[in-house]
Structure 1
C-alpha cells in the first residue's frame, strides 16, 4: 500500500461508514481506499455541501462525520461547513490533500485555515506514522468532540507504507465530582428548571428521572429540540424560540441547571430570560464552557448522564410540577396554541398558517433540517419532531445556504424517516447545486422554501430606519419551475388549499424530491428576530 491507502483503510477500520466529498487528483486514492474498505461515498456538487452534510450526518447518526477534499481550493471551498462543525463541537474528520511545493498553485497554509475557524489541525507526517497519525485524529474527533482537519501532503501520500493495527488510547475521565451543593440546591428549589443542550443528547432517561424526582420542568436549547418530546412537563425550547408560557416559567425559576448547554445569548435571550435571583448551575465536560456565556453560580465538570444518575436520591419533591402548570403547558405549550392575526393576502400565505397546515399533512416520523434566516423560527417551532434525532439545526456560524446539505446528511442518517429541508429563498438559491445531489441519490425529501424574494432579516433590520433595500430585495423567482428542471416535483403555495399536491406526494411513494415554493407574507419580522433586535 501507499500512505493514502493506509489512511483510508485505517479510518474505515476505526468505524468511518459514510464519506462525503468532491474528488480531485489529491484525494482520489484516499477516497477509493475508504470505499474499498467498506465506507459508502457520497459525491456532493460542492465541497461546502460535503462538509455540511458530514456535520449533519454526525449529529443525527451519532457517528463521526468524514469529509474528503482536494488540496487548496477544495479545502477553502469547504471552510464554511468546517467552521459550523467546529463551532458546534461536531466529531468530524476532514481529509485534506495538501500541496507543500512552494510555488504550487494549490499551496495555502491549511493548518492556519483550520485553526482560524476553531478546528484542530493534524498532519500525516510520513509512512512510518500514517496509522498512528490517522488513529490520533480519530481519537481527538471522537473523545474530545472536535472537528479535525487531517492534512495529507501529496508527497507523503505516494510513499509506500505498511498497514498495521491502530494504537489504542486510554479514555480520560474527569475526577469524581463533588455534587453535594447541587443536591442541596435541588432539595430546596421550589421552581427548578433544567435546560439541556447538545451535550445532553445521550442523557434523556437520566435527566427525565432526576427532573421527576426534584419536580423540575424540562427545556432544551434549540439544537437539542425534541429531547423531551412527549413529556407533559416539557417547555420545549428555551430562549428566542420559547413560547410565552415557557418564557414566563423559565424566568420565574429559582434554580436553573444547564446540562451540556452553553447558555448562550440565544438560549437565554441575551441573558434576560433567567432571573438574577435564580441560582444557576452548569454541567459540562468542557471546563472552558462553564460561565463562558452566562453567569454561573456553580460549575460542574462531568458527563451529564453520570452526574444526573449520581444526583438521584429516591426522595420525590413537587417543585414546579403542580396541576395548574401542567394544564397551562397542555393548553399553551405549543406555538400553534398561541393566537395570532393572519398576515396572508391573495398572493401570500402567512408563514405560521402555512407551517401549521404542513405539519398536519406530513407523517410523524420525520427529520427536519433548518437553514438560517428570518424564516427559521417557523419550521423550527411549528413543525413537530418525534425526538432529538428528528431535528438538525446548523446555526453555530449563522450562515445561510446550509439547509439543503444539512438535510442531505440528516436523511442518510435517518433511513425510514421523511427528510424535510426548510430554507429561505436566499439560502436555497445559494446552495441549489446540492438539489442535484439529492435528486441523484433518489432521496424522497420535502424541500420547503419560505420565499419572500429577499434577505428578510436585513429587510426587517434596516428597513424601519429608512435605509434603501435595493441590495437585499430581488424580483420574484419561480422556484417551482427551477425545481422541475432538476427532476423534482414542485408546487407553488399561496393558500393552504395549494398544499393538496404535497399531501398526495407525502402519501407515497416519494420517489423524487418535492419542492414547495411558499410565497410567504413578509410584512413584519418573525417573533424571534424581533427578540434578537431588542437584544442588540
Structure 2
C-alpha cells in the first residue's frame, strides 16, 4: 500500500505538523520507532540527513542549530536509539541549543519490552526537556508545544512518541501527510522565535548604568547568551560609549570579530595581552556569560575589587560562580540597548581604554604574533605551526568546529572566524568525539562557507562512522586531525606526576587511509610542505571532504591544560 493510500496515523500528524511549522532539516537514524514520523516530516518538505549513529545525528543537529540560528531537529529510535544520543544531547543542553528530538518510546503497558527505559528521567538528567504526545486528538498540539518550548526556553526538547500511540488513526481535523504549510493556521506557523524575551527592569538598568558611568577601565565580557540574542552590535555600541574593551567566553568566540578593541577569548585561551589587561578592569559587564573557572582562570582574570554586572535571562545564573554588584534579569540585546540609552542620559561618550594606541597594541599581539619555539621534531609538526599555516591557507569565510581534548586550544587561539555563528565550540559537556558530527551539521546549515572540523585522533575514532556521512553528502568540509597517537590531555596532565600513562597511548594509525576507505580525499601531514594537499584541494574548489591526518608533536603541551584540570 502506498503512503498516500494508507490511513494517516498519529505519527503522520506529528511529522506533518512540524513540517508545516517550518522545520527545514531533520538529522536522524531510522528505526521502527521513528520512521513513519520522519517520513511524514520529509513529505512535508523537510530535508532528511541520515547519520550512521544516533549520537552523530544529534551532534549534527546541534552544529546546524548553532551555525544557522534556526531550530534543529533530530530523529531517533526508542530505547538504545535514545541512549546512543544522550552524550550529544547533554552537550546541546549545556550549550543551550534550541533543538527538537523525535524519539520513539515503548508503550506504557509494555512493561517487559527489551526497549523499555525511563526516557523522561533519562532526558531530564542531562538538562534537556522531556515532552510527549498524549493522545491521537492532541498530537498536532503536542508537537507544536514541544517545538515552541525548544525555541522559547533555548534548550533541547525530546518529544517521546509511544509506538502504539503512533500507530493510531489520525483524528478528524488533524493535518494529513504531505499537507502544505497553508493547512496550518498562519498564527501557528513557527519558523523563528516569536515570544519576547525578558526585558530588563528599569531600576536594575539604572543601577548598572550608574556603575558603568563611574568606571575608568570597563570590560564587556559576552558569552553564549549574547550569541543566542544576536547582541554583538548593541554591545559594541555600548562599549564604544563607555570606553570599554571587549572580550568573550570561548563559547562566544567571534562575536566581536574585527572590532578594534576586542581582546578575544578570556580564560585559558586568553592572549598574554588579554591576561595582562583583564585583571585591571574596575567594572566587568558579563552578558550571558557563566563566569566559570574556564572563563576567569579560576578568578585570576578578575581583580579582587572589581565590580561585576551580571546580565542573563535566567535568574539562577545571575550569581553563579561570581557574586554581582548589580544583577539584571533580561535578554542580552535588549539589556545592551537599554543600558546604552541610560548611559547616554548620564554622561557623554568617553574614550576610556579605547585609545588608538590600545587598539594598535591589541592588533599587534594576537596569539600568532607572540611567537613560539618550534620543536621541529622528526616526523611530526608543531600544532601551533600547523594551525597558523591553516589560518593563512583557508578562506576568511569559514566555519570552525572544535572538538574536545588536548587539541582544543590550538584552533580556538590561532584560527580566526568572521562571526560567532562561524565558531562552534563543542565543549560544554567536555565530551570527546562530538566535533565531527557537529561539523557535518554546520556544513549542511552553511554550505556557502568552508567548514573546518578540528578534532583529535581520540575524538575521530569515537566518530568514525560519520566519515561515511561526510563523504556521502559530498560536503565542503576540511577535517584536521591533531594526531598525537594518544589521549594527550591525560598524558600531559598525569605523566609529570610520575603516573603510568601507557593506557592513554596508542600505536600510530593511518587515519588518511581510513578516510580514503570511507570515500574522501586525505593526506598525512608531518611538515608544512605537506599542506600542499590542502592548497590543491582548495584550488580545485574543495569539492567533497578532505581529511588531513596531522601527526602533531606529542611533546608540545598546551599552556591552558593545567587550568582545565583544576575545574575537574
Give 1:265's match in structure 2, choosing from 277, 288, 293. 293
What secondary structure sits across from 1:271 in the alignment?
coil
Instruction: Quote the offset at 1:89 in angstroms.
Output: 1.2
Instruction: Quote the offset at 1:534 in angstroms.
Output: 5.6
Q: For the Cα contact (< 8 Å) 2:200–2:329, is it kept in 1?
A: no
Partner of 2:60: 53
What secondary structure sits across from 1:399 in the alignment?
coil
The 5-angstrom pairing of residues 114-513 of structure 1 reads 114-162=123-171, 163=174, 165=184, 171=195, 173-174=197-198, 176-177=200-201, 178=203, 179-201=205-227, 202-312=230-340, 313-314=343-344, 315-332=348-365, 334-513=366-545
Scaled by the length of structure 2, what TM-score is found? Answer: 0.92
Q: For the Cα contact (< 8 Å) 1:487–1:512, is it kept in 2?
A: no
Q: Distance in 1 between matches of 2:356 and 2:94?
A: 40
Stretches of 4+ aligned residues off by more than 2 angstroms:
164-176, 530-536
Q: For the Cα contact (< 8 Å) 2:200–2:335, is it kept in 1?
A: no
Q: Distance in 2 between matches of 1:400 and 1:206?
A: 35
What secondary structure sits across from 2:255 in the alignment?
coil
Q: Distance in 1 between matches of 2:554 and 2:475?
A: 31
Instruction: Quote the offset at 1:512 in angstroms.
Output: 2.2
Q: Distance in 1 between matches of 2:554 and 2:218?
A: 38
Instruction: Quote the offset at 1:215 in angstroms.
Output: 0.4
- List per-residue Cα deviations over 1:87-134 (Å, max 9, x = no partner): 111111111100121111111110111011111111100011111111
Q: For the Cα contact (< 8 Å) 2:248–2:266, is it kept in 1?
A: yes
What secondary structure sits across from 1:240 in the alignment?
coil
Q: Distance in 2 between matches of 1:5 and 1:227?
A: 40
Scaled by the length of structure 1, what TM-score is found? Answer: 0.97
The 5-angstrom pairing of residues 59-74 of structure 1 reads 59-74=66-81
Runs (5+) with no aligned partner, structure 1: none
More displaced, 354-363 or 171-180? 171-180
Instruction: Quote the offset at 1:327 in angstroms.
Output: 2.3
What secondary structure sits across from 1:471 in the alignment?
helix
Q: Distance in 2 between matches of 1:327 and 1:146?
A: 40
Instruction: Quote the offset at 1:444 in angstroms.
Output: 2.3
What secondary structure sits across from 1:94 in the alignment?
strand
Q: Distance in 1 between matches of 2:553 and 2:123?
A: 40
More displaced, 357-366 or 166-175? 166-175
Q: Distance in 1 between matches of 2:538 and 2:560?
A: 29
Instruction: Quote the offset at 1:387 in angstroms.
Output: 1.1
Runs (5+) with no aligned partner, structure 2: 1-7, 176-183
Instruction: Quote the offset at 1:535 in angstroms.
Output: 6.1
What secondary structure sits across from 2:531 in the alignment?
helix
Partner of 1:96: 103
Q: Distance in 2 between matches of 1:267 and 1:175?
A: 26
Q: For the Cα contact (< 8 Å) 1:13–1:37, is it kept in 2?
A: yes
More displaced, 172-181 or 448-457? 172-181
CA RMSD of aligned residues (A): 1.5
Instruction: Quote the offset at 1:185 in angstroms.
Output: 1.0
- List per-residue Cα deviations over 1:46-93 (Å, max 9, x = no partner): 000000110111111111111111111100111111111111111111
Q: Distance in 2 between matches of 1:278 and 1:480?
A: 50
Partner of 2:178: none
Q: For the Cα contact (< 8 Å) 1:269–1:535, is it kept in 2?
A: no
Instruction: Quote the offset at 1:262 in angstroms.
Output: 1.2
Q: For the Cα contact (< 8 Å) 1:443–1:512, is it kept in 2?
A: yes
What secondary structure sits across from 1:78 in the alignment?
helix
Q: Distance in 1 between matches of 2:309 and 2:215?
A: 12
Q: Distance in 1 between matches of 2:198 and 2:246?
A: 26
Q: For the Cα contact (< 8 Å) 1:221–1:267, is it kept in 2?
A: yes
Instruction: Quote the offset at 1:175 in angstroms.
Output: 5.7
Give 1:12's match in structure 2, choosing from 11, 19, 23. 19
- List per-residue Cα deviations over 1:257-312 (Å, max 9, x = no partner): 01111112111111221111110011011111111122222111011111111122
Instruction: Quote the offset at 1:242 in angstroms.
Output: 0.5
Change (3 A) 1:390 1:176: closer
